[in-house]
Structure 1
Amino acid sequence: MLSFLLLLLVTTTASQLVAVGEGGNDTNGVNMKKCLDKERNALLLFKAPLQHPDDCLSTWRVDEHDCCKWSGVMCSTQTGHVTELYISGCSFVGEISHSLLNLTYLNILDLSYNSFHGTIPTFIGSLTELSYLDLSYNSFNGTIPRSIGSLRELRRLDLSFNSLYGTIPPEFGNLTNLQELHLDSVGRCRVEKVEWLSHLSRLEDLRMDGISLASANHWVDAILSLPKLTHLSLGGCELSQVMYPYSSFLNSSSSSSSISDLSLQNNNLTSSMYRWLLPLTSNSLQILDLSGNMLDGIPKYLGNICSLVSLDFSDNSAIIKFPDFLTNLSGCTSLTLADLIAYGSQFTGSLSNEIQKFSSLGYLDLSDNHLSGSISEKLWELPMLVILDLSFNNLIVPSTYHLSSLSYGKDIHLRSCKMLGPRFPKWIQTLKNLYRLDLSNTGISDTIPLEFWDMWPSQLIYLNLSSNNISGKLPDLLSNFATYSVIDLSSNSFNGQIPKLSSALATLDLSRNKFSGGISFICQIVDGWLEFIDLSHNSFIGQLPDCLWHFKDLKVLNLGHNNLFGRLPPSIGSLIQLQVLYLYKNNFSGELPLSLKNCTSLISLNLGANKFYDNVPVWIGENLSGLYFLLLRSNKFFGTIPLQLCQLSNLQILDMSMNNLHGSIPSCLSNLTSMVQQGGFSQDVQYSTKYLQGSYVDNAMIEWQGDEREFSRTLKLVKSIDLSSNNLTGQIPYQITNLFNLIALNLSKNELSGEIPPKIGEMINLEILDLSRNSFSGRIPSRMSHMSFLNYLDLSYNNFSGRIPTSTQLQSFQPSRYNGNAHLCGPPLTKKCPGDEESESPPIIGKSEGDGEDIDDELERWFYIGGGMGFVTGFWIACGVLLFNRRGRHAFFQFYDSFKDWVYVKVVVFIANLQ
Structure 2
Amino acid sequence: MGFGFGDIYLVRDGEISRSLLNLTYLNILDLSYNSFHVTIPTFIGSLTELSYLDLSYSSFNGTIPRCIGSLRELRQIDLSNNSLYGTIPPEFGNLTNLQYLDLSNVGRCRVENIEWLSHLSLLEDLRMDGISLATTNHWVDAILSLPKLTHLSLGGCELSQVVYPYSSSFLNSSSSSSSIESLHLGNNNLNSSMYRWLLPLTTNNLCSLDLSGNMLDGIPKYLGNLCSLVSLNFSDNSAIIKFLDFLTNLSGCTSLTLADLSAYGSQFTGSLSDEIQKFSSLDYLDLSDNHLNGSISEKLWELPWLQTLDLSFNNHRVPSTYHLSNISYVKYLDLSSCKLLGPRFPKWIHTFKNLYHLDLSNTGISDTIPLEFWDVWPYPLTYLNLSSNNISGKVPDLFLIFDAYSVIDLSSNSFYGPIPKFSFEMESINLSRNKFSGGISFICQAVYGFLLFLDLSHNSLSGQLPDCLWNFDSLTVLNLGHNNFFGRLPPSIGSMIQLQVLYLYDNNFSGEFLISLDLGANKFSDNVPVWIGENLSGLNVLILRSNKFFGTIPLELCHLANLQILDLSMNSLHGSIPSCLSNLTSMLHQGGFSQDVLFYERIRGYATRAGIYVDQALIEWQGVEREFFSTLKLLKAIDLSSNNLTGQIPYQITNLSDLIALNLSKNELSGEIPQKIGEMINLEILDLSRNSFSGRIPSSMSHMSFLNYLDLSYNNFSRRIPTSTQLQSFQPSRYNGNAHLCGPPLTKKCPGDEPELPPIIGKSEGNREDTDDELMGWFYIGGGMGFVTRFWIACGVLLFNRRGRHAFFQFYESFKDWVYVKVVVFIANLQ
Alignment TM-score, normalising by the size of structure 1: 0.81
CA–CA separation in structure 1 for the residues paired with 2:662 and 2:198:
57
From 134, 139, 142, the equivalent of 2:59 is 139
Does the 8 A contact of 2:454 with 2:479 survive in 1? yes
Q: Is 1:671 matched up with 2:601?
A: no
From 286, 290, 295, the equivalent of 1:374 is 295
Equivalent pairs, count = 807
CA–CA separation in structure 2 for the residues paired with 1:408 and 1:356:
15
CA–CA separation in structure 1 for the residues paired with 2:291 and 2:724:
47
**Structure 2 partner of 1:708:** 625
**Structure 2 partner of 1:56:** none
Give the letter for the 1:425 counterpart. P
**Structure 1 partner of 2:520:** 608
CA–CA separation in structure 2 for the residues paired with 1:340 and 1:93:
47
Does the 8 A contact of 2:161 with 2:194 survive in 1? no
Give the letter for the 2:31 counterpart. L
**Structure 1 partner of 2:375:** 454
Q: Is 1:505 matched up with 2:426?
A: yes
CA–CA separation in structure 2 for the residues paired with 1:331 and 1:425:
35
Q: Is 1:754 matched up with 2:671?
A: yes
**Structure 1 partner of 2:41:** 121
Deviation at 1:160, TM superposition (A): 0.7
Over 3 Å counting, the alpha-carbon distance change for 1:411 and 1:86 in structure 2 is farther
**5 Å matches for 1:890-909?**
890=806, 893-894=809-810, 896-897=812-813, 900=816, 903=819, 907=823
The residue matched to 2:50 in structure 1 has which SS? coil
CA–CA separation in structure 2 for the residues paired with 1:196 and 1:527:
59
CA–CA separation in structure 2 for the residues paired with 1:302 and 1:667:
70
The residue matched to 1:359 in structure 2 has which SS? coil
Deviations 1:493-551 (A, max 9, x none): 22221132233421111111121111112223433321111111112111111112222
Give unpaired runs (5+ residues) of structure 1.
1-70, 75-81, 597-603, 845-851
**Structure 2 partner of 1:794:** 711
**Structure 1 partner of 2:561:** 649
CA–CA separation in structure 1 for the residues paired with 2:829 and 2:696:
28
Q: Is 1:548 matched up with 2:469?
A: yes
From 247, 263, 285, the equivalent of 1:364 is 285
From 692, 696, 705, the equivalent of 2:607 is 692
**Structure 2 partner of 1:155:** 75
Does the 8 A contact of 2:477 with 2:598 survive in 1? no
**Structure 1 partner of 2:385:** 464
Does the 8 A contact of 1:507 with 1:530 survive in 2? yes
Deviations 1:216-267 (A, max 9, x none): 2311111111111111111222222766794256963743211111112222
Does the 8 A contact of 1:107 with 1:132 survive in 2? yes
Moved more, 727-736 or 754-763: 754-763
Deviation at 1:270, TM superposition (A): 2.1
Over 3 Å counting, the alpha-carbon distance change for 1:242 and 1:350 in structure 2 is same
CA–CA separation in structure 2 for the residues paired with 1:644 and 1:404:
69
Over 3 Å counting, the alpha-carbon distance change for 1:816 and 1:325 in structure 2 is farther
CA–CA separation in structure 1 for the residues paired with 2:741 and 2:83:
58
Q: Is 1:417 matched up with 2:338?
A: yes
Percent of aligned pairs sharing the same letter? 80
Over 3 Å counting, the alpha-carbon distance change for 1:342 and 1:799 in structure 2 is farther
**Structure 2 partner of 1:771:** 688
**Structure 2 partner of 1:99:** 19
- Structure showing greater Rg: 1
Deviations 1:664-707 (A, max 9, x none): 11222222121111212266412568723654222211112222
Does the 8 A contact of 1:304 with 1:333 survive in 2? yes
Does the 8 A contact of 2:688 with 2:712 survive in 1? yes
Does the 8 A contact of 1:193 with 1:217 survive in 2? no
CA–CA separation in structure 2 for the residues paired with 1:801 and 1:313:
69
CA–CA separation in structure 2 for the residues paired with 1:268 and 1:819:
60
CA–CA separation in structure 2 for the residues paired with 1:421 and 1:233:
46
**5 Å matches for 1:330-729?**
330-403=251-324, 406=327, 408-593=329-514, 605-681=517-593, 684-687=596-599, 691-692=606-607, 695=611, 696-729=613-646
Deviations 1:347-405 (A, max 9, x none): 33333333232222222222223333333333323222211222222332221123465
Over 3 Å counting, the alpha-carbon distance change for 1:569 and 1:798 in structure 2 is same
The residue matched to 1:368 in structure 2 has which SS? coil
The residue matched to 1:340 in structure 2 has which SS? strand
Deviations 1:8-29 (A, max 9, x none): xxxxxxxxxxxxxxxxxxxxxx
Deviations 1:463-497 (A, max 9, x none): 01111112222222221112211110111122221
CA RMSD of aligned residues (A): 3.6
**Structure 2 partner of 1:237:** 157
Does the 8 A contact of 2:329 with 2:353 survive in 1? no
Deviations 1:597-627 (A, max 9, x none): xxxxxxx822222222222222222221111
CA–CA separation in structure 2 for the residues paired with 1:748 and 1:451:
59
Does the 8 A contact of 2:302 with 2:328 survive in 1? no
**Structure 2 partner of 1:732:** 649
Deviation at 1:114, TM superposition (A): 1.0
Deviation at 1:897, TM superposition (A): 1.6
Deviations 1:27-46 (A, max 9, x none): xxxxxxxxxxxxxxxxxxxx
CA–CA separation in structure 2 for the residues paired with 1:342 and 1:87:
47
Give the letter for the 1:196 counterpart. W
Which structure would you say has the larger RCO, counting Cα contacts within 8 Å and 6 or more residues apart?
Answer: 2
Does the 8 A contact of 2:615 with 2:632 survive in 1? yes
CA–CA separation in structure 2 for the residues paired with 1:185 and 1:268:
18
Moved more, 774-783 or 156-165: 774-783
Deviation at 1:292, TM superposition (A): 2.1
Deviations 1:775-813 (A, max 9, x none): 222333333333333222222222223344444443443
**5 Å matches for 1:207-218?**
207-218=127-138
Deviation at 1:758, TM superposition (A): 2.9
Give the letter for the 2:686 counterpart. L
The residue matched to 2:200 in structure 1 has which SS? helix
Does the 8 A contact of 1:518 with 1:540 survive in 2? yes
From 143, 150, 163, the equivalent of 1:223 is 143
Deviation at 1:408, TM superposition (A): 4.5
The residue matched to 1:724 in structure 2 has which SS? coil
The residue matched to 2:374 in structure 1 has which SS? helix
Does the 8 A contact of 1:411 with 1:434 survive in 2? yes
Give the letter for the 1:708 counterpart. E
Over 3 Å counting, the alpha-carbon distance change for 1:617 and 1:130 in structure 2 is same
Does the 8 A contact of 1:508 with 1:534 survive in 2? yes
The residue matched to 1:364 in structure 2 has which SS? strand
Deviations 1:696-754 (A, max 9, x none): 22221111222222211111111111111111111222222222221211111111122
Over 3 Å counting, the alpha-carbon distance change for 1:764 and 1:327 in structure 2 is farther
The residue matched to 1:783 in structure 2 has which SS? helix
Does the 8 A contact of 1:213 with 1:242 survive in 2? no
CA–CA separation in structure 2 for the residues paired with 1:259 and 1:797:
78
Does the 8 A contact of 1:231 with 1:259 survive in 2? yes
Does the 8 A contact of 1:503 with 1:524 survive in 2? no
The residue matched to 1:221 in structure 2 has which SS? helix
